[in-house]
Amino acid sequence: MTDFKKGLRHERRGRVFMGLLAILLILIGTGTVLKGDLTYRNYWGGLVFAPIVIPVGLVLLYLVIFRWRKLSQRPERLKGRAARRAQRAAEYRSMIDDYDKPWK
């Protein structure tokens, strides 16, 4: 199997998982609100405010449906001045980094 197909399968698996997580969050939040409660207990026993969970699930669902490719792509390589500045920043060592650390 080629790397491209492996990457697609991995990307699809992540997308399905995040979509299911988003739908689960939306359903748990709406179910809690429809019961008349504003909070529910999570796995660790902490209170979760259900009206906040619904928009979080909707935003996650939006990202999965419309913005997944943009989120999963690697950023393009820098060119020109931006590349030179990034290289200089990577090579720069501040004075505190040059200090001999006694715990070494």
Note the pLDDT tens digit of each residue in 8-56.
567 788 889 999 999 999 999 999 999 999 998 888 989 989 999 999 9
1 versus 83: the higher-pLDDT residue is 83
Q: Where are the domains of the chain?
A: 3-94
**Structure token digits, residue 77:** 């390589």
Angstrom distance (rounded) from CA 24 to CA 50: 12
Q: According to the model, what pLDDT value does residue 87 have?
A: 81
**Structure token digits, residue 49:** 């405010």
**Structure token digits, residue 83:** 């590349």
User: If you average pLDDT over every residue of the chain, what do you get?
Assistant: 81
Instruction: State the pLDDT confidence band at 3, using cuts at 50, 70 and 90.
Output: low
